[in-house]
Structure 1
Amino acid sequence: MENNLQVIEQNGQLLVDSREVAEMVDKRHADLVRSIESYLVVIGQNAKLRSDNFFIESTYQAGTGKLYKHYLLTKQGCEMVANKMTGEKGVLFTTAYVTQFNEMEQNL
C-alpha cells in the first residue's frame, strides 16, 4: 500500500482528496463517496455539527471531459473515515494521514 498521502492547502485549510484516500485503502472511489454521503446525512441532522468541518464536496474532470463528484477531507474527515476502518488498511491509513497532516501543520 502506498502511504504517501498528498495533503493540499486550500483557503488556509489542509485537505486530502477522496480519490487518494480510496486508492490508499483499496476501496472503490464510488463506495467511499457513498460512505461519506451517509456520514453527511447524520452530520446534517445535528445542528451543532458543520459538514464542511469534515468533508467538502468538489468535482473533478475525467479524461473523457465528464465531471465527477469527489470530496476533500479535512483532518477530522480523515479521522472519521479511519475510525470506520479496521485491520491493517485502517492502521496504515491512520498513520499516513496523521503523519502528513502533522508535517504540513509544522511547515505552515
Structure 2
Amino acid sequence: MKELVQTVIKTIDSREIADMLGVKHYKIIEKLEGTKDGKYKGIIPILTDHNFVVSDYFILSSYKDSSGRENKSYLFTKIGCDFIANKFQGEKGILFSAKYVKKFEEIESENQESQNKLVTSSKLETQIAVLREYYTKIDEIKAHIDDFKNSVPLYSIECKELQALVRKVGIKALGGYKTPAYNNNSLRSKVYSDIQHQLRREFGVERYEAIKRCQFEIAKKIIEEYKPPTVLVNQITLLNSEISLDLAVV
C-alpha cells in the first residue's frame, strides 16, 4: 500500500484580508507592492531586496470580477498575516489578529477533516482491493479443483453405472431379455464387448474405466446411441428367427 501524502498550504485571500481589516482591497495590494507614486515602497519589494522568499509570506494569485475581468490578488500565509497585523496598531490590529487566527484554525480543522476522509477512502479502497484479490484467488482455487475433479478417471460408482447401461443397451440390441440371441453366451459377449470396444475407441483408452469424469455424460450418450454392426445384427436376427420358425413348425 502506498502511503498517502498530502501537503496543504494554508492561506487566506487578500480580499478576505481587506474585509477583516475594513479597508479597500487595493489598499492591501499597495501595502504589499507599494504605491505607484513611489512614496511607499511596499513589503514585497523590501523582502525581495533582502533575499527573503516572498512566497513564504505572500503568494501571487488572481480572481475574476463580475465583468469577467481578471484582477490581481495575493494569498496570505499565516506568517504573512502576522506581518500585516504588525502594521496595524490599536483596536484594528487586535481585531484583525483575532479574525485571522480564528480563520486559520477553521482552515486547519477543514483540512484535517478532508485528510481523514482521504485516509478513510484510501483504507476502504485498499480493503476492497484485498477482497477482490481474495475472491479472485478463491475463484482460481475452485477452477483448479474443478479441473482436477474433471481430469481424474471415473469413480467406481460411475463405472458401475456405465456397466449397467452397457447391459441394458446390449439386451435391447439382442432383441430383449431371455431371447435366443440373449441366451447365446457367445453372441451376448460379442455384443457387450463391441459396445465397450466402441467406447474405448471413442476416448482412446485401454479400459473404459480410464475415461475422465468430464466425459462421463458423453460416454453414456455413446452407449445409449449404440448400433451393432451389420454382422452382429445378422447373427441376432438369424438366431431369433430360427427359434421362432422351429416353434411355428411344431
Asked if Structure 1 and Structure 2 have the same fold, meaning a TM-score greater than 0.5 normalized by the shorter chain, the answer is yes
More helix by proportion, 1 or 2?
A: 2
Q: Deviations over 1:25-75 (max 9, x none)?
A: 11111011110111000000112x200000001110000011100100000
How many pairs does the alignment contain?
97
TM-score, normalization by structure 2? 0.37
TM-score, normalization by structure 1? 0.82
Higher relative contact order (CA 8 A, sep 6+): 1
Q: Give the partner amino acid of 1:70.
A: S
Structure-1 residue corresponding to 2:101: 98
- State yes or no: 1:39 paired with 2:43: yes
> Which one of 53, 61, 65 corresponds to residue 62 of structure 1?
65
> Which one of 79, 82, 93 corresponds to residue 79 of structure 1?
82
> Which one of 8, 11, 36 corresponds to residue 12 of structure 1?
8
Regions of 4+ moved over 3 Å: 102-107
More strand by proportion, 1 or 2?
A: 1
C-alpha distance in 1 between matches for 2:95 and 2:24: 17
How much does 1:99 deviate?
A: 2.5
Bigger CA radius of gyration? 2
Structure 1: state its 5+ residue gaps. Answer: 1-10
- State yes or no: 1:50 paired with 2:53: yes
C-alpha distance in 2 between matches for 1:103 and 1:16: 11
Aligned alpha-carbon RMSD (Å): 1.5
DSSP-derived class of the 1:69 partner: strand
C-alpha distance in 2 between matches for 1:65 and 1:103: 30
Identity over aligned residues, as a percent? 36
DSSP-derived class of the 1:13 partner: coil
Structure 2: state its 5+ residue gaps. Answer: 1-6, 34-41, 113-250
C-alpha distance in 1 between matches for 2:103 and 2:69: 30
